[in-house]
Structure 1
């Protein structure tokens, strides 16, 4: 039986690291009956964190997909990492999801990666609901977190639940349940049944005033969205619960509000109402607009595919897991029907692909006994058979071609040189690295034939450390690893105009070409290089020679800068004039002239080395503030902002990545383990002059 698309929910759990995403997922699986025992992150028994590296570290590294039923709803749930080094996993999931649950810790509140995932959800227009977790922890503060979401994330949370008590069981008023502000009932969750048994009772008198106040705040948001509800309020008539839910749903789908619920996933409190909220407020595939793509043969022609089985098949590859029996392709089906033993087109590669097998996904594996014959619009599945498509590619009906926008990932900021201990291992190492590149779009590997070393690149120290462990533990490779190095960029610091020439003898032929080139820095030093043909229309340079010159400029721009061959960014290159001889000029001569102009222009415009800068967020008790700020200043950091939240102070700083190796250990040492830190790429800035002497690998 195909899933009723109206009752299908494709959702993601997104949050800062340690906010409790995986624990929320485990509770959902348990309460829905998809598993019979609750897995624990600290015991390494969760379904979604099934990789040895995840179980050892107690964090999510790879996104995982699970499917379960809740009432009349079928839910495809993607559990995503919280660590910034693995933000690509969040990016690829949000690209294909219809809705998201954003989890916040009731103690730490809105953190650095919370802002990152919220921005990513904004980027893809993903409706979301909010779950304030860990209300049973020491220092939990529901209202403080609620009040942070608006100013820090530009969100508009609407609380539809209120916690009863805060903190652990040994406190005077421990967290013990939630008040439903729509039905105005007190919900208690039986610990003996791990939260499966829910008792609904009247709100105690001592909590009635608080509940009434928070309900009025919720209704104010409803009145703003629904004139009929406002009219009822003016007539002093009660607003029906179903009208409230329908209005909140509409506000959520249009991203005007975010319904907010709360609880403790670890103790099973509030997760059942969260599941109800997923069904009530998050969109089904038909609540989302049709996807837009282009005609692969004419990129100026826009095409749409709606979430209907009557439309031609169209899907997006959002993850690839290499396997000995055939790579597992995770595909979101946007329209039509995908059938086993069929053929589809991958317009990005201009190749036909075989769909040999279709599977439901459970965690990072094919679900046992989960092989299926067909998948319909709106659903997510695992496909075995394709060979050419990569992450972000479209697969579609061979007769009705469409190419959807791909997934853009951040560039790697850190590299490490590696080499096999024996030449016999080189081929196997290259095969393994190619497999890892297919799996992880932010991982790079380039071999240097002169040194025999391979340069692997990633999003941070933890990312490269995980790759290192996978090479040695999972694949049994004997590899030497060198110290990680920063990925610099090169740009220019001023405008320059030059003339490049080719005036040489090639055998019996005299070759001639002249090309005028202007270069200028862009406002954003990290922006891609722009190359333009500005030769006047009446120039005497023939079209094929102009084209050869522009192509050479583009290739040289892709090849790197003059300082050390690092990628070029942040400059504009314009061919503004040229001269050709009727007999002695040809495309080769203009390529030589363009190359000469390129080198002259970069040198004249003062090449500049750029270093990556990270945005840091450090949360520390006040006692250690001075030591941490002093250490940051020694690392060339600029303090952008400090915020005080109770006993903790949050420092926002920008610092060069080069100075931050081992910083997480350093900050724990400075604070006796009581401070925490996170970082994410912020941009690029001019590197100190002395760095230009020490960047070669």
Structure 2
């Protein structure tokens, strides 16, 4: 039974200094859900005996089966724990005195560890103030964790660290203390390397340091963990003249103790032992060894360490006895809870530096000031970032964080990401909707509460009918939106589906609509062929969404095509002369040149460093200083396209005309043509990327009725197509960053597999007989009858394992308009799949003559 009632938890949410919103980060299998079990047992959500086995934070049946989560769900826990003062300025801090136990409201966000589900991590980081990074000491800091840490810094989340799986190092690998210390130190060092950009971003005090207490070590599965403070407090009492603070510094790094002389040195000399090994690892390892050997001396040692066992506990044997003794000696939940309470900032601290990076409006506005102050009495500002099913068919709870005001059952403005209060054309993206109920995720239960004050994470009922994937909810009409989430993956995998029975088509279409709401990033579109295309981040992601579509959202059978990847269309040169297109009534002409935008600018747009919502002068300064643009061009950018949040508008339209009458009247029409053209390019209706369109000249009819949207939008699309086709059009293909882990003896086979699938090895490392190879690999090579995984298994006799992360787009050098080229085959295959004419695009359809 939970130790606290929902009313107690609701009251605690108002004590904002005690609220901790924490995202759990870690690669698959590193132990995040086991840590949740420890905290859950502490709050009464499960029995202590089930720690590591129940995995209570996994909601879905398929998650429990694979012991890995696919979705992020908030879990509120009211916890009574000690905390400590932090003394000194950021970057020069020390751990102060330990305070008495007090109550805290933890909102833990257990995120997926698989790269395909990293959009769920992005959603968690937007809601969180801090992170609990979990790293297995036996595996070290992997590429996935490095990406997660970088993403967490962008969202201004302060890190803490749990170095997990010491049980494997002690009982399975049987490492000696010095080797284990070096592995632990390497994990901490690697995490700090990943955090190196924090100071550049203006975030001081984000480093990890065991002597400061923001790192704990242990075994989440066996339910034990410790910080240096626990041992420092114990030994400081036994050593004359030794303080707790001084002892903590002795227990990490190059601090060596000589038992015979009872002296400390900073270099290893004969007879000296590293402090961490002597005072921490030695007693832990000795206790493990005695219990596993069934040596009765373990009872004496346990008693000395303050462990008192019941009669039933003493009947346990082997690993079960180890688990019980270690959990009683140093409960993992206590160490983790104290670290979170001490080092994870409260919302009213974090929002002082988080808001300016996530809010589109001016920071000197009353709304921004209310959010910075985390004011529950201010106007409501809430960012809804994901949807969770309610259990009722087709209905969802919208999950998000209140940054200002208090969310309650009332009417609010619900705004899609495209809404701009200064643009009257976007008013359709804002609706007035009623919140029907406010729900708290208390453990695994959804419980209703009357309201939710600023700084807390909560789920709203009834709002789902007014939004698609995410939304800004506000009580103030003048408020700007929150910035959209930034994902480090793209929907590059596609699969076509059709209902097995055509009579079930309406159910399938309705199911696809629900699926788009339920998944943060999945895309569903209909093709002229009658196929419905579902796009995901990878094979695992596609499997999951298709399973959910069939079982939860549509409830019908459907046939599946062969998985394919998406491509981008781009240009590699500037056309010799402007492309010309005339409007259907022949009264208007547009002259446009297409040229490469450049990968750096494209990346900056896709990562939201450059966007249309920016101040014009600020955007111009970035383009001039960092990318060498002309000032005149920077100030005359008309738009980016396409505007789809999950596609990224890495194509730009620049006005280079001079002295044209009525030009501003056609801006909207031409921009609309840009969106259309950039979303479906001329080669195969794939998204464009990296194209800069320069509007060189315009001839317009004097009468406005002859130069309306119906005349200029299709003309703009045609002239953009013509400009692309005369500028050496090419395809770009998506590239994975592939990490292959394997024994050292099969390294040559790994290299052969990478070369066989058009991959490029970047670097490889070998340590203790284990090798890790990082390579760039075309995503198309991971599909088909002979995917990379199959070739890798063949070449290495099944001893190698590959993980993937979308990294970048790469140009395909061959010309798609050249007969017999590889790019031509790609183009024709895509056109055939989409029901287009299986032939080269006819440039005469897009370019007119005078």
Distance 1:168 1:373 in 2: 35
Is the CA contact 1:67–1:77 (under 8 Å) kept in the aligned structure 2?
Answer: yes
Of 378, 384, 387, which aligns to 2:461? 384
Of 71, 79, 84, which aligns to 1:70? 79
Is the CA contact 1:181–1:214 (under 8 Å) kept in the aligned structure 2?
Answer: no
Of 209, 214, 237, which aligns to 1:158? 209
For the structure 1 residues 298 and 103, does the alpha-carbon distance in structure 2 shift closer, same or farther, using more than 3 Å as the test? Answer: closer
What residue number does 2:580 align with?
500
Please give the secondary structure, in 2, of the residue aligned with 1:184.
helix
Confirm whether residue 579 of structure 1 aligns to residue 726 of structure 2: no
Confirm whether residue 275 of structure 1 aligns to residue 315 of structure 2: no
Is the CA contact 1:28–1:271 (under 8 Å) kept in the aligned structure 2?
Answer: yes
For the structure 1 residues 595 and 128, does the alpha-carbon distance in structure 2 shift closer, same or farther, using more than 3 Å as the test? Answer: closer
Shift of 1:176: 8.2
What residue number does 2:188 align with?
146
- Name the stretch that deviates more: 461-470 or 525-534: 525-534
Confirm whether residue 49 of structure 1 aligns to residue 58 of structure 2: yes
Confirm whether residue 89 of structure 1 aligns to residue 115 of structure 2: no
Alignment of 1:474-553 (within 5 A): 474=552, 476-496=555-575, 497-502=577-582, 511-524=586-599, 528-539=649-660, 541-543=661-663, 546-547=666-667, 550-551=670-671, 553=673
What residue number does 2:810 align with?
685
Distance 1:425 1:265 in 2: 53
Shift of 1:132: 0.3
For the structure 1 residues 95 and 522, does the alpha-carbon distance in structure 2 shift closer, same or farther, using more than 3 Å as the test? Answer: same
Is the CA contact 1:347–1:401 (under 8 Å) kept in the aligned structure 2?
Answer: no
- Listed one character per residue, the Cα deviations across residues 632-673 of structure 1 (whole Å, up to 9, x for unaligned) are 111111111112222211111111001123545654565455
Of 491, 499, 502, which aligns to 1:412? 491
Confirm whether residue 600 of structure 1 aligns to residue 722 of structure 2: yes
Is the CA contact 1:342–1:354 (under 8 Å) kept in the aligned structure 2?
Answer: yes
Distance 1:166 1:544 in 2: 64
Please give the secondary structure, in 2, of the residue aligned with 1:680.
strand
Of 207, 232, 238, which aligns to 1:184? 232
Distance 2:363 2:219 in 1: 60
- Listed one character per residue, the Cα deviations across residues 93-152 of structure 1 (whole Å, up to 9, x for unaligned) are 101101110000110011011111111101111101011001111446323322322335
What residue number does 1:243 align with?
none
- Listed one character per residue, the Cα deviations across residues 664-693 of structure 1 (whole Å, up to 9, x for unaligned) are 565456545543321111111123641431
- Name the stretch that deviates more: 82-91 or 285-294: 285-294
- Listed one character per residue, the Cα deviations across residues 602-640 of structure 1 (whole Å, up to 9, x for unaligned) are 111011011100111112110111111111111111111
Distance 1:444 1:427 in 2: 18
Is the CA contact 1:346–1:393 (under 8 Å) kept in the aligned structure 2?
Answer: yes
Is the CA contact 1:19–1:104 (under 8 Å) kept in the aligned structure 2?
Answer: yes
Confirm whether residue 466 of structure 1 aligns to residue 544 of structure 2: yes
Distance 2:795 2:219 in 1: 28
Is the CA contact 1:162–1:211 (under 8 Å) kept in the aligned structure 2?
Answer: no
- Listed one character per residue, the Cα deviations across residues 573-598 of structure 1 (whole Å, up to 9, x for unaligned) are 11111234557963455455534422
Please give the secondary structure, in 2, of the residue aligned with 1:136.
helix
What residue number does 1:346 align with?
414
Of 35, 38, 60, which aligns to 2:69? 60
Confirm whether residue 108 of structure 1 aligns to residue 139 of structure 2: yes
Distance 1:408 1:430 in 2: 28
For the structure 1 residues 271 and 677, does the alpha-carbon distance in structure 2 shift closer, same or farther, using more than 3 Å as the test? Answer: farther
For the structure 1 residues 330 and 656, does the alpha-carbon distance in structure 2 shift closer, same or farther, using more than 3 Å as the test? Answer: same
Shift of 1:215: 3.9
- Name the stretch that deviates more: 138-147 or 648-657: 138-147
In structure 2, runs of 5+ residues without a counterpart are: 1-10, 81-102, 174-179, 197-205, 256-321, 417-428, 607-648, 815-820, 834-850
Normalized per residue, the structure richer in strand is 1
How many residues matched? 619
Please give the secondary structure, in 1, of the residue aligned with 2:368.
strand
Is the CA contact 1:99–1:283 (under 8 Å) kept in the aligned structure 2?
Answer: yes
Shift of 1:536: 3.4
Distance 1:405 1:299 in 2: 17
Of 378, 396, 401, which aligns to 1:332? 401
Is the CA contact 2:117–2:541 (under 8 Å) kept in the aligned structure 1?
Answer: yes
What residue number does 2:627 align with?
none
For the structure 1 residues 648 and 586, does the alpha-carbon distance in structure 2 shift closer, same or farther, using more than 3 Å as the test? Answer: same
Is the CA contact 2:210–2:227 (under 8 Å) kept in the aligned structure 1?
Answer: no
Shift of 1:390: 3.6
- Name the stretch that deviates more: 131-140 or 624-633: 131-140
For the structure 1 residues 214 and 422, does the alpha-carbon distance in structure 2 shift closer, same or farther, using more than 3 Å as the test? Answer: farther
Shift of 1:548: 6.0
Is the CA contact 1:322–1:435 (under 8 Å) kept in the aligned structure 2?
Answer: no
Is the CA contact 1:11–1:97 (under 8 Å) kept in the aligned structure 2?
Answer: yes
Shift of 1:57: 2.2
Distance 1:604 1:566 in 2: 17
- Listed one character per residue, the Cα deviations across residues 506-556 of structure 1 (whole Å, up to 9, x for unaligned) are 5xxxx33322211110111665344435253422x4236643662354134
For the structure 1 residues 396 and 646, does the alpha-carbon distance in structure 2 shift closer, same or farther, using more than 3 Å as the test? Answer: same
Shift of 1:153: 4.7
Is the CA contact 2:740–2:803 (under 8 Å) kept in the aligned structure 1?
Answer: yes
- Listed one character per residue, the Cα deviations across residues 406-428 of structure 1 (whole Å, up to 9, x for unaligned) are 32334311101111111111111
What residue number does 1:451 align with?
529
- Listed one character per residue, the Cα deviations across residues 11-61 of structure 1 (whole Å, up to 9, x for unaligned) are 1110111111111111111123233356567x6x32221212212222110
Distance 2:365 2:652 in 1: 21
Is the CA contact 1:330–1:381 (under 8 Å) kept in the aligned structure 2?
Answer: yes
Distance 2:76 2:192 in 1: 32
